[in-house]
A and B are shown apart, each in its own frame.
Chain A
Amino acid sequence: GAVVSQHPSRVICKSGTSVKIECRSLDFQATTMFWYRQFPKKSLMLMATSNEGSKATYEQGVEKDKFLINHASLTLSTLTVTSAHPEDSSFYICSARKDSLLGELFFGEGSRLTVL
């Protein structure tokens, strides 16, 4: 199987602080990872595509300086929410593509961010 680990699963922070969320592919290499945001009882909204060794590709309307993405290795991508505000509170989910298998994506368990 293919396992994607996301950490932390829950985080509470104060307004103005920064929060880092990690996404790791545990048993496969992932050149490409994706970060999604999900509001309660809503669909997943793609935020950005994370590419190993290069800059992330952000979707329209997503602030690059607000949501910093780093994909430093073939098994790790990080999302940093900078200067967090209450409206950044959401469920963030990462997914990874197994390089040897086109199509299917493997998802992490998600990270619930609450900004006070």
Chain B
Amino acid sequence: SQQGEEDPQALSIQEGENATMNCSYKTSINNLQWYRQNSGRGLVHLILIRSNEREKHSGRLRVTLDTSKKSSSLLITASRAADTASYFCATQAGGGNKLTFGTGTQLKVEL
């Protein structure tokens, strides 16, 4: 099964700064999704980008997808302390809705 690799594994920034997380995957996909997880909680869907899309925005989030490089990035602009969480990319391929998750980036936004 394909596995997304994310980097960095951990990221610590100051409030107001931008945070960029990267995700790489191995095989062709239908779409790539980003999720957020607060410690000990479930996952919250942030954004979905289809394989024929290159960039997508949602509020302070900007996601890019480069299918030739099999990579995606998530940019959070003007970060806030409340953005502190783990962020996972997940890919869907084939006909089902099975999601394969990346290794995750732990983001800490300090005041």
Choose among A43, A91, A108, A109 the residue that contacts B102 (Cβ–Cβ < 8 A): A43
B84 at the interface (CB under 8 A from A): no
Residue A76 at the chain B interface, CB threshold 8 Å: no
Which of A49, A104, A109 is B33 in contact with, Cβ under 8 Å?
Answer: A104
Within 8 A of A (CB), among B27-63: 30-31, 33, 35, 40-45, 48
Chain A: minimal CB distance from B93 (Å): 12
A49 touches B98 (CB 8 A): yes
Asked if residues A105 and B100 are in contact (CB atoms below 8 Å), the reply is: no
Count of chain B residues with a beta carbon within 8 Å of a chain A beta carbon = 24
B25 beta carbon closer than 8 Å to chain A: no
How many residues in A have their beta carbons less than 8 Å from beta carbons of B?
Answer: 27
CB of B94 closer than 8 Å to a CB of A = no
Contact check, B106 vs A43: say whether CB atoms are below 8 A apart. no
A43–chain B nearest beta-carbon distance, Å: 5
Known contacts A41-B106, A43-B103: A105-B97 contact under CB 8 Å: yes
- Among candidates A43, A97, A102, A110, residue contacting B88 with C-beta atoms closer than 8 Å: A43
Query: B24 to chain A: which residues have CB within 8 Å?
Result: none
Interchain CA distance A104-B99 in the complex, whole Å:
9
Partner of B101, one of A43, A91, A108: A43
B96 nearest in chain A by CB position: A49
User: Using a CB-CB cutoff of 8 Å, which residues 1-59 of chain A contact chain B?
Assistant: 4, 6, 32, 34, 36, 41-46, 49, 59
A106 to B35, CA, bound (A): 10
Distance between B12 CB and nearest chain A CB, rounded to angstroms? 15
Residues of B within 8 A of A (CB): 1, 30-31, 33, 35, 40-45, 48, 88, 92, 96-104, 106
Q: A34-B98, A43-B88, A108-B42 are in contact. List 9 more A-B contacts (CB 8 A).
A: A42-B104, A46-B99, A91-B40, A95-B99, A103-B48, A104-B48, A109-B42, A110-B40, A110-B42
- Enumerate 13 A-B pairs (CB-CB under 8 Å) in ascending A order: A32-B97, A34-B98, A41-B106, A43-B103, A43-B104, A44-B101, A91-B40, A95-B43, A103-B31, A103-B33, A103-B48, A109-B42, A110-B41
